Structure 1
Amino acid sequence: MNTAMLYHKTYLHPDSKEWVVFVHGAGGSSSIWFKQIKEYKKHFNLVFIDLRGHGRSAAVSFKEMLKNGYTFNDVALDIVQVLDHLKIKGAHFVGISLGTILIQKLAELAPNRVKTMVLGGAVTRFDFRSNTLVKIGDFFKHVMPYMWLYRLFAYILMPQKGQVESRGMFIKDAKKLCQKEFKRWFKLAADVNPLMKYYKENETNTPTLYLMGENDHMFMRPVKEMVAKHSRSQLTEISNCGHVCNVEKPQEFNQHSIEFIKNNGQQNS
C-alpha cells in the first residue's frame, strides 16, 4: 500500500458513530459534494476524499504510479488507507459517476468496510455511444489537448440547460489535471465493462441504492439491467435531472440517500 496519503477532510458529528465517505468521479474533486455537507452532517460523521491526481491530492506523490500507471484496485486501496488512518472500521459510501465503480471495487476488496452503497449517476456499463466516445478519445488523446476532450465528454454526458452548473464544475476541476494524469485515468476506461460484467454476475451482500437522473440516458438502461438482476439493489429515479444528480437535484438526492443509509445501515453495523 502507498505511503502517500490522499487529501481528505472530515466533519465530526457530536453523537453519531456512523461514517459516510464521499467518492467523486474522474476529473472531479471532493468539491462536487458541497450541496451535501449541510444536510449530511446533521446525521453522520463525514469524510470527503480527493482521488489520485485530483483536487488537493494532485500534489501528493505516488512514486509507483509515475512508473506503472494504476488500476481501479490501486485507487480503491488508496481509500482503504484513508479509512485505516482515520481508524474507521466500516462506513457508508456515497459516489458519483466513475466514483461508483471505485466503491464497488472497495466492496469487493474489503466487504466488511462497506456498510451501504449509494451510487449516484452510476456507471455500470459503457454502451455503444459511450464506447464510441472512449475510442475517439483514445485515438486523439496523444495529439489533442485533454481539456478539449474533457469538454466534449462533459457536453455529451451533460447536454441540457439544467446541467450547466454540474458541467461547469467538472470542467473547472478537470483543469487541475495534467495531460499525463488525464491519460492514466483514461486508460482505466478499458477496464470498466469487464469489471462491471463481473459485478453484475456476482452480487454483493451490501445494500445498494442507485440514484439516477431520469435524463441520464447514457447510463440509465445498464443500471436498470443491473438492479433487475440483483436482490440487494434498488433504483430511485430523480425527475428532470441528468447525470450529476447530487448537484442538479441536491434536495432529492440528500433525502433519498440519507433515508436509505438510515434504513439499511443498522443491519451491517
Structure 2
Amino acid sequence: MYSYIDIGERNNDVLVLVHGLGSRKESWKYQFELSKNFRVIAPDLRGHGDSSFDDDITIKTFARDIIHLLEQLDISAAHFCGLSLGGIVIQEIVKTKPAIVQSLILSNTSSYIPRMTGLYALSEGKKNLAKMSDDLYEQHMIKQCMYDAKNEKLFHDIHSFYFKLNRKTYLKAAKSGVGINYLSTLMFCPKPIIIIASLNDRITPYLNATTMSLAAPFSKMHTFDQCGHTPNVECPAEYNRVLLNFLNEHRSNKAASQ
C-alpha cells in the first residue's frame, strides 16, 4: 500500500511533492496551503514515513512507485517538486516517463554525485548513525540542515514533523544516490524547470545548483540567502511564493490561478 497525502480540488493541476532522505510526507506541511490552487499529492518514499515497502531501495524504484501511484489515481500529468533526494527522484521520473511531467521544481538537490564523494559522505553518515540514538541523529541532521540552528522554536517545530529515521532503510536510501548523473537529462529536458538553492546549504552546496543551471540553460533559478537545506520550512512564505509564481506560469488551467 502506498502512503500519501492527497488534498485539493480534483479538477486542478496536480502538484507532487517528493521529500528528502530520512524525511516523510509531513515535511511538506507548510506547502499544503498550495492545495487552494492545486491538487497536492505528497507520498512517502519506500522505506520512509509510513510506507509499508522496505525492500529494493533505489532511485529507480522510488520513481517507479510514484509513477504507479499516479496511474492508480488516474493522473496522466503533474508538476513535480522534489527536495534533496526527492529532487533526484523526480529527475529519474522525467528521464523514465517524460510524458507525465508538466514542470520540474528541483529544490536543494543535485544532478551529479561522484561515486567517491558519495561513498565518503555515506561512510561519515554510517559512523554518526552507529554512535547516536534515533532521536539524537534526527537532531544532528536538523542542525546540519538549518541555517540558524540556534532558533529553538523552529528547531523544535522541525523536529516534531520533518524527520522519521528508519535504520533498516536509511543507509540504503542514502546509497541510492551515489554515482547518479542526470546532467544530460537536464540538458535535453524540454520541460519547464526551476532550480531552488540556498547559499548556506551545508548538505547540498550551492555549486550543485549552479552546475544544474548550466546543464539546463533555459531553466529559472531562485536563491535563498538566510536558509539552509530546508527552505520549505525555514522560509515557507517565500518558498511557497516562488512555487506558486512558477506553477501559475505553466499550469494547464490558467483561469484557476486568478
Report the TM-score when normalising by structure 1: 0.80
Q: How does 1:8-27 map to 2 (within 5 A)?
A: 8-13=4-9, 16-27=11-22
Quote the offset at 1:146 in angstroms. 6.9
Residues 159-218 of structure 1: CA distance to partner in whole angstroms, max 9, x if unpaired? 533776676566556874332212321321423xx3345545x43111111122232254
Change (3 A) 1:228 1:176: closer
Are 1:50 and 2:44 counterparts? yes
Q: How does 1:1-269 map to 2 (within 5 A)?
A: 5-13=1-9, 16-38=11-33, 40-57=34-51, 60-61=52-53, 65=55, 69-126=56-113, 132-138=120-126, 143-145=130-132, 147=134, 151-158=139-146, 160-161=148-149, 176-191=164-179, 194-199=180-185, 202-216=187-201, 218-266=204-252
Indicate if the aligned counterparts of 2:14 and 2:40 stay in contact, CA closer than 8 A.
yes
**CA distance in 2: counterparts of 1:52 and 1:26, whole angstroms:** 11
Report the TM-score when normalising by structure 2: 0.83
Count of residues paired in the alignment = 250
Indicate if the aligned counterparts of 1:7 and 1:49 stay in contact, CA closer than 8 A.
yes
Secondary structure at the residue paired with 1:210?
strand
Quote the offset at 1:112 in angstroms. 0.5
Point out where structure 1 has 5 or more consecutive residues left out of the alignment.
none
**CA distance in 1: counterparts of 2:238 and 2:169, whole angstroms:** 33
Which residue identity lines up with residue 35 of structure 2 in the other structure?
K
Quote the offset at 1:81 in angstroms. 1.1
**CA distance in 2: counterparts of 1:77 and 1:146, whole angstroms:** 32
**CA distance in 2: counterparts of 1:198 and 1:168, whole angstroms:** 40
Change (3 A) 1:260 1:162: farther
Indicate if the aligned counterparts of 2:82 and 2:106 stay in contact, CA closer than 8 A.
yes
Which residue identity lines up with residue 235 of structure 2 in the other structure?
K
Change (3 A) 1:161 1:61: closer
**CA distance in 1: counterparts of 2:185 and 2:152, whole angstroms:** 32
Change (3 A) 1:24 1:175: closer
**CA distance in 2: counterparts of 1:117 and 1:242, whole angstroms:** 21
**CA distance in 2: counterparts of 1:161 and 1:145, whole angstroms:** 19
**CA distance in 2: counterparts of 1:85 and 1:36, whole angstroms:** 23
Indicate if the aligned counterparts of 2:7 and 2:41 stay in contact, CA closer than 8 A.
yes
Secondary structure at the residue paired with 2:79?
strand
Query: Which deviates more from structure 2 when the two are superposed, residues 144-153 or residues 220-229?
Result: 144-153
Query: Which deviates more from structure 2 when the two are superposed, residues 87-96 or residues 153-162?
Result: 153-162
**CA distance in 2: counterparts of 1:162 and 1:199, whole angstroms:** 39
Change (3 A) 1:73 1:80: same
**CA distance in 2: counterparts of 1:170 and 1:125, whole angstroms:** 28
Query: What percent of counterpart residues are identical?
Result: 23
